[in-house]
């Protein structure tokens, strides 16, 4: 983390990638912002990241994200965003850049990468021997064949407020069953 509260992480092994994955859960990924720079052996994307680390206290939050990050500092010089009822939305999103270096090839599954106007919902980033896989809702995936895990994530710009918190069916079922 930088002093401005922006997330800046590097992943070099599967454990690092798990932390990075927790920070990226529920990021929105416009296909227009995804590119494989073959000559540079680099895969890059810009995502709209839900800031789990800034969720209100008591909200469900990944222990990995919570232990590795801190909430961004408030900037009293900014105008406050309020909804129609005058309440400030409790959640935040931010654009973030994600790069993987030493990428040999990229494979897409479950979507047409040529449909640049589509937006995918990122669920996880996982390491396998010689590969990293980005898994999305609906069974879509991007598999990166890599020489080694060398990944960077950095928040770009300022966060903005949102009242929409990502929701997962398994969370709803656990809440109804009384499992928190």
At residue 5, the pLDDT reads: 74
* pLDDT reading at 179 higher than 90: no
80 found inside a domain: no
Mean pLDDT of 29-46: 97
pLDDT higher at 89 or 134: 134
Mean pLDDT of 38-60: 87
At residue 65, the pLDDT reads: 42
82 found inside a domain: no
Full residue range of the structural domain in which residue 47 is found: 8-70+87-176
pLDDT in tens, 54-71: 877 655 543 334 344 343
97 found inside a domain: yes
* pLDDT reading at 167 higher than 60: yes
- Of 46-60, 69-83, 110-124, give the range with the top mean pLDDT: 110-124
At residue 24, the pLDDT reads: 95
154 found inside a domain: yes
Query: What is the count of structural domains for the chain?
Result: 1
Lowest mean pLDDT among 22-26, 63-67, 94-98: 63-67
DSSP result, 38-106: GGGTEEEEEEEEE-GGGSPTTS---HHHHHH--PPPP-TTSPPP--TTSPPPSEEEEEEEEEEESEEEE
42 found inside a domain: yes
1 found inside a domain: no
Query: CA-to-CA distance for 170 and 75, rounded, in angstroms?
Result: 35
* pLDDT reading at 114 higher than 80: yes
Average pLDDT, the chain: 81
23 found inside a domain: yes
Full-model pTM: 0.76
């Amino acid at each position: 983390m930088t002093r401005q509260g922006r997330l800046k992480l590097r992943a070099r092994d599967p454990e690092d990638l798990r932390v990075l994955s927790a920070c990226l859960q529920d990021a929105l990924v416009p296909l227009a912002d995804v590119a494989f720079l073959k000559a540079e052996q680099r895969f890059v994307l810009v995502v709209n990241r839900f800031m789990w680390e800034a969720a209100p206290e008591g909200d469900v939050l990944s222990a990995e994200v919570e232990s590795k990050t801190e909430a961004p500092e408030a900037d009293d010089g900014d105008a406050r965003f309020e909804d129609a009822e005058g309440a400030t939305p409790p959640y935040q999103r931010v654009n973030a850049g994600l790069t993987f270096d030493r990428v040999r090839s990229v494979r897409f599954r479950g979507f047409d990468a040529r449909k640049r106007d589509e937006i995918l919902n990122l669920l996880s980033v996982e390491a396998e021997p010689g590969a990293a896989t980005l898994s999305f809702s609906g069974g879509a995936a991007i598999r990166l064949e890599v020489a080694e895990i060398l990944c960077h994530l950095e928040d770009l710009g300022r966060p903005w407020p949102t009242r929409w918190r990502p929701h997962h069916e398994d969370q709803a079922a656990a809440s109804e069953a009384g499992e928190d």
